[in-house]
Amino acid sequence: ATPTSIMVGTGRAAEMGVLFRQGAALQTLSDVQVIALDKTGTLTEGRPELTDLRITEGFEESDVLRLVASVEAMSEHPIAAAIVRRAAQSGQSLAPVDDFASLTGYGVSAEVEGRKILIGAERLMLRDGVELGDAKNFGDELGQVGKTPLYAAIDGRLAAVIAVSDPIKSTTAAAIAQLHDMGLEVAMITGDSRGTADAIATQLGIDTVVAEVLPEGKVEAIGRLEIGGRKVAFVGDGINDAPALATADVGIAIGTGTDVAIEAADVVLMSGDLNGVVNALHISRHTMQNIR
Ligand code: ADP
Ligand code: MG
């Protein structure tokens, strides 16, 4: 590729709000066969709302909300903000928290009012031996409709099933259809549960789903997509996406995402939606065609 054609391509891209941080990415992107997408904040708005709250018999809703929200107030996860908002709406005030721990990919734990509180995914409850009983079926049903089921335990007993739902961005479905029209395989990589991830993938026509991954797992997942010498672009927004953005053949950060993601990426989209990915691919293919 000539330096001039690369310069023209990156200039045109910039006018469309697509920033190529190096010219090499413009070339590599034209050879990409797989687009792997982070779910939360990339396919979805990244602002979940609490949609369901089922309290286990023997527990008081007001107690559970106060204890759980007190712990979540210490977390930076968007799920936490949804729970804290809901508790505030029901007039709960927050209690002091001891021994807060954020368990990446699992959830959070702490002590409040002398009680041990755990909130997170099913695997957190499995890890700590909290019995779910029929709450598991309820959680699975929530997942089947694309909601994220969470479980809250107080002193080792399941106190509530909570669901949050993160709306899919209005531009996501059409952008995925265009990626398919361009002959690309579309994959989703998420820390969310298998059921929730599958439901969302079905809604959007996503070809390959990698669910329940820890942040390091995103790097491994990209490695698997690259088997057979395929070139993979990864699109993400979060701190936990940075290693995958750096590993992928082309890392594409959503410009409304975190600084850490933007710094790790080869390409930055000024807009918060996936149309930027479609534009970046068109420009890179067009530029490379003019050269060959
Ligand atoms: P993602 O960004 O794809 O949601 P994460 O690794 O951040 O992946 O989270 C994975 C899962 O861990 C979440 O779907 C949720 O079940 C659980 N989790 C993480 N943080 C929290 C939290 N603060 N409260 C409750 N659950 C959490
Ligand atoms: Mg994200």
Indicate which ligand has the atom closest to the C-alpha of 44: 2
The atom of ligand 1 lying closest to the CA of 41 is: 2
Q: Measured between alpha carbons, how far is 111 from 98 in angstroms, rounded to an integer?
A: 5
Answer whether 41 contacts ligand 1 (Cβ < 6 A): no
Look at residue 23 in the predicted model and tell me its pLDDT.
Answer: 86
Q: Which pLDDT score, from 0 to 100, does residue 216 have?
A: 81
Q: Which ligand sits closest to the CA of 48?
A: 1
CA of 239 to the centre of ligand 2 (A): 8
**Which tokens is 78 given?**
């968007």
CB 18 within 8 A of CB 282: no
Written as tens digits, the pLDDT of the chain (292 aa) is 688 888 899 999 999 999 999 889 999 999 999 999 999 999 999 999 999 999 999 999 999 999 999 999 999 889 999 999 999 999 999 999 999 999 988 999 999 999 999 999 999 999 999 999 999 999 999 999 999 999 999 999 999 999 999 999 999 999 999 999 999 999 999 999 999 999 999 999 999 999 999 878 999 999 999 999 999 999 999 888 999 999 999 999 998 888 999 999 999 999 888 999 999 999 999 998 865 4
Question: In angstroms, what is the span from residue 208 Cα to ligand 2's centroid?
Answer: 17
CB 56, CB 158: distance < 8 Å: yes
40 close to ligand 1 (CB < 6 Angstrom): yes
Predicted pLDDT at 271 = 87
Active-site annotation, residues = 38
Q: What domains, with CATH codes, occur in the chain? A: 3-45+168-291 (3.40.50.1000), 49-165 (3.40.1110.10)
From 67, 77, 117, give the residue whose CB has the most ligand 1 atoms within 8 Å, as the site to mutate: 77
Ligand 1 within 6 A of 290 CB? no
Mutate to test the pocket of ligand 1, among 42, 53, 79 (most ligand atoms within 8 A of CB): 79
Number of residues in the chain:
292
For residue 257, give the ligand nearest its CA.
Answer: 2
How high is the ipTM of this complex? Answer: 0.94
Does the beta carbon of 237 sit less than 6 angstroms from any atom of ligand 1?
A: no
Name which of 250, 249, 198 is nearest 227 in CA terms. Answer: 249
User: Is the CB of 121 within 6 Å of ligand 1?
Assistant: yes
User: Which pLDDT score, from 0 to 100, does residue 290 have?
Assistant: 61
pLDDT, averaged across the chain: 94
Residue of the nearest CA to atom 7 in ligand 1?
A: 105
pLDDT value of residue 3: 84
Q: Enumerate the β-bridge partners of residue 234.
A: 36, 251
The ligand 1 atom nearest the CA atom of 72: 23
| Nearest CA-CA partner of 165 in 187, 142, 189 | 142
